[in-house]
Chains A and B, each alone.
Chain A
Amino acid sequence: MKTIYKKLLFLFLILPFSAFAQTISGVVLDGSSNQPLPGVNVIVKGANSSTTTDFDGKFQLNGLKNGDIVQFSYIGYTAQEVRYSGQKSLSISLMEEANQLQEVVVQVGYGSVKKKDATGSAAVITTKDFNKGANVTTENLLQGRVAGVTVNTSGAPGSGSEIRIRGGSSLFASNDPLIVIDGLPIENTTTTGSTSFLASLNPSTIESMTILKDASATAIYGSRASNGVILITTKKGGKTLSVDYNFQYGSGRLVDKIDVFSANEYRDLIQQRRPGDVSRLGTANTNWQDEIYRRTDLVDQNLSIRGNLFGAIPSRLTVGNTYQEGLRLTNKFNRSTVGLALNPSFLNDHLKFKVNANYTNEKNRFADGVEGGALAFDPTQPVYDANSVYGGFFQYYNPSNNELTPQTPRNPVAQLLQTYDTGISNRFFGNIEMDYKFHFLPELRAVINVGFDETNGERSRRAGADAASSGANNNIPYGTNEYTEENRKNKLLDFYFNYNKTFNELVFDATAGYSYQKIDSDKYMTGNVNDPNLATGPTGFPRLEVPFDTVLIGFFGRTNFTYKDKYLLTLTYRRDGSSKFDEDNRWANFPAAAFAWKVNQDFFKDSKLISDLKLRLGWGITGQQNIGNNNDYLQQYNIGSGSSQYYFGETPYPIAVSARLSDKLKWEETTTYNAGIDFGILNNRLTGAVDVFYKESNDLLADVATADGSNFSNRSWQNIGSFTTKGIELSLNADVIKRDNLNWNVNFNATTYQREITKLNADYIRVGENVVGTGTQAQAHFVGYTPNSFLLYKQLYDNAGTPIEGAFADLNGDNVINSEDKYVYRNPDPKLILGFASNFNYGNFDFYFNLRANLGNRVLNVVNASKAQYNLLNTGGTIGNIPTSVLDTGIVNQNSNNVLSDMYVENASFLRMDNITMGYTFPKWLDGKASVRLYTGVQNAFVITDYSGLDPEVTGGFDNTIYPRQRTFLFGANVKF
């Protein structure tokens, strides 16, 4: 890899220079305000001369010959052309273009096109469309705003989210989309010490996000594109000096709790059901769920400065800090970021650089998931006990020898307050892109992009020996002292040529290039050094884990044909190689094709009603190879740790056994067909898009049973199975009212999709977490059904509608109730996903809200399934609390069968109001030099749902307590200089 850099440097040095003759100068003004327009592109068509207007709208062009056409263009304005016939100076007025949307730029990977020329299914969302609220992590900006995209974020501060584009395309491999920041594809792995891989990116640095949804758009990313691609572009340097300061304060609270018995209700319950245990009751009245949570603070600030550095380099510097507390006691997230963007251009814009450098420091204090413990703790016991040797917290222990009582719960508040689980992560990422337009051939450009992403993270977990929640030997806790450190490096080199030439009515654009990416990491862990039984040796502790490097190489090409500016054809091809597969199966080809027809240029050209109509058709094949760090085609021997040795005579030998092998493993492939219509009505007052798609994923990568005795484990990675997805997306954007002083814009999107498994190596494979203990997975991938469907027993009820405990329908009529009587009952996928946002401006006053709804999704209420049984009042060593839902079901016993009843599956359709914001702008602050917007708002204002659990929005449809989402009241200020 080092040699690549050297060779590149050499390439740069042999670039030719050039310089030439006649000059013209002038000024460009805004047609309506007569203010000078900086940054306007001034190009001599067909020649190799171009420039942009400066801060005063002035420009100067050299190398002109009589007859040359000079073109003036600027985003949002109608372009103008002037024929040069010897003028010494020009004064140009540019008019704002009515159809601004058409000029929106869509990133398509290794280039960009205007939205009106896009042939694939892509959505662009820019700063003005982003959700307005407390957006701590980047994905919150687009939650509910794009058709086909769902974002599910947990309540933990700075936490990652589950992002799905069109439901994802994989069963066992990752369903996460590829995320590319300024051309650098980042790895979807969270480093030790950090909360998520996207948490290090400060949302305020983001200019726009392009979401590529269908294969014709994503195929350029070939082997990683099956789940869609999100291209994030950060704010570029600007030429004019502008300063933005944003400040936000939020105060958050717990919204709701799970219903368990209160202290007095509990006393009655024990009296009634377990009278022999009444002596175990305490005298306190504790609501344990209240005790583990607190009110939270959020302080988010960022400062962004743009200007011309040294008068020549457009730059942008952003500095930010986000401090967010979590609802769980002690949970904190603190992120500081510095981001720099430089966009100098040389040689009359023939040589342009984009330099991005970002540094993030993230400090976290993590808090354990004690929700389950808080639900089950006896409410008549106090939180604190001054006489307790365990830090002054109430615990169940024997005072004569301080031994913790076996089979009793541990105080959840103590666990949070006595555990110091902190992480620090330092991340440095960015890229340098060089774009050279050849002097001897201006239609040809060469682009080199070098990207880097390096993270160093560490996490340390400590608890004293007086913390009853730490590990114990013979019932005496020994405290926790653990340290983990991880380093990850991600390096990218992209190199491509782009050729763009217009031949009369045909515009031909071709791109061809090469991409190399290498990811390597290592992790060092000490384990809990206080544990007397800690395994030793290289596979014990302390140990260094060095997974295999991942190397991805791709060759790609794309051609765009545009005929008469009405008929567009895009052909893409990518050939990818991955180090995860053996040599025979390493390379795969990913072709794609898309065709678009601007129907309104042919049929509705003069229509007042239909201002835009474009038909898009696309087809493509994309791949998936993300199965974590597995290179199972290489045989490796694992060496036994200190406690996995075998004696020969008096000498213990660490055993050496082969790890499992997988061979002939290849890529997953997904083929997508997409048809869409983009339309605009009444001069684009109303715009929208409808897409219909069908995806088929084959050769799914799965970790499934392998023939016993043939391999070194009972499971190995294999390519088995296929599944299909079909769906429809609709998005609408309407300027309901558009006047000088009054604007109302609404945005609506709706998605429906259906996934179905068509082939597996067996009729079904059980998946998902266990409801209780082991062997009680409630979900399965079942052929003919949606992935992750619930596979449960059918509950029988009595005449009053109360479930009969342990009575299930004998569905196969063989008079035995066993696993053959389970059936597929619903699945977590929503039938319809809706999003709506409204932006209302009256004068200087603005009012915004956005809401989302999922309809038809099902959730398995595991809190009830695993905890709402009367026998759980006995924890073994003492008595514990249970959810009040047990009053409705009356279930007494828990065994591995009756927790798998279909009565625990609930309809979790919901409507959630994500943000409501109102603000007022003072436009002429500081003598008109600055404007200030003050605003207030609520995040997570309300949820409407029938789901009886805490929150209907649960990843994977498996609700076994979640980190609750807070409701935050926000106040903030945006200052612009």
Chain B
Amino acid sequence: MKNFKIFYLLLTLGTIISCTDDLNVVSEDPRTTTPEALFSSFEGYKQALAGVYGNLSLTGTGDAGSSFLQGIDAGTSQFGRTLWYLQNLTADEVVWSYENDEGVAELQRNTWTANNPVVLGFFSRTMAEVAFANDFLRQSTPELLASRGITNVNEVAEINVFRGEARVLRALAYYYMMDVFGKAPFITENNPVGFKGPQYNREQLFNFIESELAEVMPTLKDANTNEYGRLDKAVAQMILAKVYLNAEVYIGTSKYAECMTQCQNVMAGGYTLNTNYLNNFKADNHTSNEMIFTLQADGVRTQNYGATTVIINGQVGSFEGNGSEFGVGGWGGALRLRKQLVQKFDGGTFTNDARKTITDNNGARPIDITELTNAGQGHILHKFSNKTAAGVAGPNSTFVDTDFPLFRLADVYLMYAEAQMRKDGATNGSNVKNANTTSIGYINDLRVRANNGSSSANVGAGDVDLQFIIDERARELHWEGHRRQDLIRFGQFTGGNYNWTWKGNIQNGTSISDDLKLFPIPSNSIVANPNLTQNQGY
């Protein structure tokens, strides 16, 4: 009897213990995949790389409204759109009519706080780029490749190029953090997931970007040789050029000679100006040889509420109803121009300038904007379009096919000229005219292209001072995500040197605090990472 009882007990115990293994559940969901499954084939690495690039265009893996980030809606956290809001909406180029959209009113009136959702969207999205890049680097180390059975020499070599590109994307993210926030939590692939990165200031970020890009440069594909959608040496050089051009702002030391070197590297890469200015902003602009790096958009495959979707739908005028001109439905007059941008095209010189795409509905639109929410005030722009150069509209009337030009060659021409002038002694506020022949040559290349081959609007050394440069940048690059950075560099963003419509929440513009040169770290982000300190004034 006793033995029997013991046997019975042991039997039941054995039954029980064998079940605790069931606690290790595995995924049966067809929508997801484990890292082991994904990275066991070369295709998986390409898809993961597409994920790192994709975070700049897409917000989630579902549809355009899905997002990996929570607490902010997809549109308010798309990379290109938030970058555009922070760089263009806060300056002298444009206003947004729907002020009950979260955070917009504060940005266009320069009254933002640390609770601004667009600022939060940009911070989280850009840092997510760092996280995805780091994850790709962790998953693609040579040791892991070997252990996962990726042994084909060509594949290993290609993945090594992917790694270089991921590192450039990470540097790009830190470049924007340095520009917009002046600091960032610093995290690399050597840190574990969940690591609360230490705060790097502008100098530390500057040094990292410089050394990182120099280290990675040899592994990247040569300029203009990589497939569409992937970056090359020119992108890395462009980032360095931007960083050096703004070095006086970032670290207080001028690096204009280094900037000129990088500009020359880019220009030698094989990119060429598109003979038609406007073809850079059409649905097939991915074929333009002027594009160095774009944020992709496709009406069917890469749908997003990003910069170009917003810009093109927003361009449609409230009473013009001209959506069919651009191949979109339109959003009832969301975007109008502040008069300062319009006035930069005043005068006979610009009558035939292709870059002047401004209309006022035969005088029906007043140039002055007295009410930001009145979509009938202010002139409108016709720069971007969802139609191809041949005039064929994209398949989707909401989500455009037009890529957003983040870096293009024309910018490099103007950067070279500016860097040369500053290196040779030009400073903000002085009207020294020291552009050399090369610089004038580049500026005139742009003028000739804008005037359809005619050199009637060309300039000479006596026309070009720093103020000309900043104005010409507005004419060439308006609405392309550069304005705030440019104005800060010229000392015209904060302070009272240059007041535009509704600057500082006053209709005729007023001086704003220098603290506003930097955006605040979002409150939620500071709570989550105690290493971060808030910027002054917030």
Tell me the A residues contacting B by CB distance below 8 Å: 1, 3-4, 7-8, 10-11, 14, 406, 440, 474, 495, 514, 516, 518, 522, 533, 535, 538-540, 543-551, 553, 577-579, 583, 586, 631, 634-650, 652-661, 663, 703-716, 761-762, 773-775, 818-819, 894-896
Q: Which residues of B contact A3 (CB under 8 A)?
A: 15, 18
A652 to chain B: which residues have CB within 8 Å?
298, 301-302
Selected from B23, B61, B195, the residue in CB contact (under 8 A) with A710 is B195
B62 touches A710 (CB 8 A): no
Cβ-closest chain B residue relative to A818: B113
A639 with B54: CB separation less than 8 A: no
Determine if B63 is an interface residue (Cβ-Cβ < 8 Å): yes
B interface, how many residues as a size bin? 35 or more
On whether the beta carbons of B301 and A645 are closer than 8 Å, the reply is: yes
Does B73 belong to the interface (CB within 8 Å)?
Answer: yes
> Which residue of the partner chain A has the closest CB to B170?
A709
Decide if A712 touches B529 in the complex (CB within 8 Å). Answer: no
Most buried by B among A550, A643, A761, A895: A643
Q: Check A657–B51 contact: CB distance below 8 A.
A: yes
Closest Cβ of chain B to A956, distance in Å, is 19
Q: Which of A646, A709, A761 contacts B302 (CB 8 A)?
A: A646
Is B130 touching A709 in the complex (CB atoms < 8 A)?
Answer: yes
- Given A586-B23, A649-B228, does the pair A709, B197 have CB atoms closer than 8 Å? yes
A712 touches B63 (CB 8 A): no
What chain B residues lie within 8 Å of A705 (beta carbons)? 524-525, 527-528
A636, B230: Cβ atoms under 8 Å?
no
What B residues does A712 contact at CB under 8 A? 68, 128, 131-132, 135
> Residue of A at shortest CB range from B184?
A709
Least distance between B523 CB and chain A CB atoms (Å): 8
On whether the beta carbons of B60 and A1 are closer than 8 Å, the reply is: no
Shortest CB-to-CB span from B168 to chain A, Å, is: 15
Q: For A538, list chain B residues within 8 Å (CB).
A: 30-31
**Nearest CB of B to A659, in Å:** 7
Asked whether, in the complex, the Cβ of A707 is within 8 Å of the Cβ of B185, the reply is yes
Closest chain-B Cβ to A438's Cβ sits at a distance in Å of 9
8 A Cβ contacts from B24-50 to A? 24-35, 38, 44, 46-48, 50
Q: Given contacts A635-B35, A649-B227, are A553 and B194 in contact (CB under 8 A)?
A: no
Other-chain residue from B113, B127, B397 in contact with A819 (beta carbon distance below 8 A) = B113
| Chain B nearest Cβ from A71, distance in angstroms | 28
**Is B238 part of the contact surface with A, judged by Cβ < 8 Å?**
no
> Which chain B residues border A658 with CB–CB below 8 Å?
35, 132, 135
A643 touching B528, Cβ below 8 Å: no
Please measure, in the bound complex, the distance between the C-alpha atom of A850 and the C-alpha atom of B184, giving whole angstroms.
62
Return the chain B residue nearest A473 by Cβ.
Answer: B397
Contacting residue for A579 out of B23, B184, B302, B528, CB 8 A: B23
Cα A11 to Cα B68 in complex, Å, equals: 51
Flag if B48 contacts A548 (CB, 8 Å).
Answer: no
Per-residue 0/1 for B326-359: is the Cβ within 8 Å of any A Cβ (1 yes, 0 no)? 0001001000000000000000000000000000
Give every chain A residue within 8 A of B50 (Cβ-Cβ): 640, 645-646, 648, 653-656
How would you classify the secondary structure of chain B's contact residues: helix, strand, loop or mixed? loop
B132 touches A653 (CB 8 A): no
- Contact B27–A495 (Cβ < 8 Å): no
B279 at the binding interface (Cβ < 8 Å): no
A-B contact pairs, 12 of them (CB 8 A): A4-B19, A474-B397, A546-B28, A546-B30, A551-B22, A635-B35, A637-B48, A639-B33, A640-B51, A640-B54, A643-B64, A657-B55
Q: Are B130 and A533 in contact (CB under 8 A)?
A: no
Q: Which residues of A contact B193 (CB under 8 A)?
A: 661, 663, 710-711
Question: Counting chain B CB atoms within 10 Å of each CB, which of A14, A645, A655, A663 scores highest?
Answer: A655
Q: A636-B34, A647-B228, A775-B117 are in contact. Are A709 and B53 (CB under 8 A)?
A: no
Shortest CB distance A338–B (Å): 32
- What are the residues of chain A within 8 A of B55 when measuring CB–CB? 657
For the complex formed, measure the closest distance between the CB of B521 and the CB atoms of chain A, giving whole angstroms: 9
Residues of B within 8 A of A713 (CB): 68-70, 128
Contact yes or no, B1 A539, CB < 8 A: no
Instruction: Give the shortest distance, in Å, between B188 (CB) and chain A (any CB).
Output: 10
Q: Which 5 A-B pairs have the closest CB atoms?
A: A709-B127, A649-B227, A708-B127, A655-B54, A707-B529
Given known A-B contacts A648-B228, A773-B100, A643 and B303 have beta carbons under 8 A apart: yes
Query: Would you call B196 an interface residue if the criterion is a C-beta within 8 Å of the partner chain's C-beta atoms?
Result: yes
- Which residue on A lies nearest to B33, using beta carbons? A637
**Contact for B32 among A8, A659, A710, CB less than 8 A:** A659
From residue B137, how far is it (CB to closest CB) to chain A in Å? 13
* Contact between B12 and A11, CB atoms less than 8 A apart: yes
Q: Are A708 and B128 in contact (CB under 8 A)?
A: yes
Of chain B, the residue at the smallest CB distance from A662 is B194
Known: A637-B35, A639-B47, A647-B298. A551 touches B525 (CB 8 A): no
A648 and B524: CB pair below 8 A? no
A11-B12, A648-B50 as given contacts; A710 in contact with B197, CB under 8 Å: yes
The interface residues of chain B lying within 8 Å CB-to-CB of A818 are 113
Contact in complex: A654, B47 (CB < 8 Å): yes
B497 CB-CB contact with A under 8 Å: no
CA distance A406 to B303 in the complex (A): 23
CB of B287, distance to nearest CB on chain A (Å)? 11
Chain A residue nearest to B14 (CB atoms) is A7
Contacts of B68 in A (CB 8 A): 657, 659-660, 712-713
Q: Are B100 and A637 in contact (CB under 8 A)?
A: no
Q: List chain A residues, Cβ under 8 A from B115.
A: 819
Q: Is the CB–CB distance between B102 and A896 below 8 Å? A: yes
Chain A residues within an 8 Å CB radius of B25: 548-551, 579, 631
**Provided the pairs A640-B61, A645-B50 are in contact, do residues A579 and B24 lie with their beta carbons within 8 angstroms?**
yes
Residues of A within 8 A of B298 (CB): 645, 647, 652
Chain B min CB distance to A785 (Å): 18
- Among B46-99, those with CB < 8 Å from A are 46-48, 50-51, 53-55, 57-58, 60-64, 66, 68-71, 73, 76
Partner of A774, one of B102, B195, B286: B102
Q: Once bound together, how far apart are the Cα atoms of A577 and B19, in whole Å?
A: 11
With contact pairs A578-B23, A661-B194, A705-B525 given, residues A644 and B303 touching in the complex (Cβ less than 8 Å): yes
Q: Which of A14, A514, A709, A773 has the largest number of chain B CB atoms within 10 A?
A: A709
Task: Give A761 to B229 CA distance when docked, in angstroms.
Answer: 41
The docked-state distance in angstroms from the alpha carbon of A705 to that of B117 is 14
Q: How far is the CA of A895 from the CA of B61 in the complex (A)?
A: 32
Most chain A beta-carbon contacts within 10 A, residue among B8, B38, B54: B54
Cβ-defined contact, B227 with A648, below 8 A: yes
B123 at the interface (CB under 8 A from A): yes
| CB pair B301 A647 closer than 8 Å | yes
Give the complex CA separation of A645 and B51 in angstroms.
9
- The interface residues of chain B lying within 8 Å CB-to-CB of A10 are 11
CA distance A7 to B194 in the complex (A): 44
Pairwise interchain contact B23-A657, C-beta atoms closer than 8 A: no
A550, A638, A708 — most chain B CB neighbours (10 Å): A708
Chain B residue contacts of A518, Cβ below 8 A: 22
Q: Apart from A4-B19, A646-B53, what are 5 other A-B pairs with CB-CB below 8 Å?
A: A535-B62, A657-B48, A710-B185, A711-B194, A715-B71
